[in-house]
Amino acid sequence: MELLTRDHKKLIGKVQSPRRVVINRIDIMKYAIATEQKQKKYLEGDEAPLMFIFNLFNPLVSLDALGQDGLNASEYLELNFPLKKVMAGGTKINFFKSIYPGDELIGVSKIKNLYEKKGKSGPLIFLIKQVTVNNQANHDVYNETQTIIYR
């Protein structure tokens, strides 16, 4: 029995509206302090540490909206898959360009693939999501491929 319907499979290729974020020095400094960075360029906000961008384009939600794994549960449950437990299945990240105060970053999320498998404990649905980020000059800054697993 297939869990994914034709409507689910139509989600492949769906692109979320671009999200824009203007980077400021204070946010870089706060992140650098919170993550115990040691390099002066980060602590003074001259350049953002690599992982500064991770989750930068996700909407802010209350802690109550996060699942046990830290994912925004509503974002993934709104897809209305028959399996409801959401797990992070891995992330592959590529960095291309440093981020500086004043940069305007544009992030776009796209569903790259959606498929099901039989696991040891039952059926699984895999959602492969691609996030790409460019700067105001349309240069590649970052891309990330996320695997989200439903069971």
User: What domains are defined for the chain?
Assistant: 6-23+59-150 (3.10.129.10)
Average pLDDT (64-91) is 77
Q: What's the gap between Cα 54 and its chain centre?
A: 7
- pLDDT tens, residue by residue, 89-140: 999 999 999 999 999 999 999 999 999 999 888 999 999 999 999 999 999 9
> Which residue is it, tokens 């999200």?
19
| Sheet of 140-150, strand order | 19-22, 104-119, 122-134, 140-150, 86-95
Average pLDDT in the chain:
90
| pLDDT tier, 80 (very low <50, low <70, confident <90, very high otherwise) | confident
Give strand pairing partners of 15.
110
Q: What percent of the chain has pLDDT over 70?
A: 93
CA–CA separation, 143 and 107 (whole Å): 9
What is the token pair recorded at 98?
């440093």
CA–CA separation, 90 and 52 (whole Å): 18
| pLDDT tier, 55 (very low <50, low <70, confident <90, very high otherwise) | confident
| Whether the Cβ atoms of residue 128 and residue 147 lie closer than 8 Å to each other | yes
Q: What's the gap between Cα 29 and its chain centre?
A: 22
The SS3 assignment for 106 reads: strand
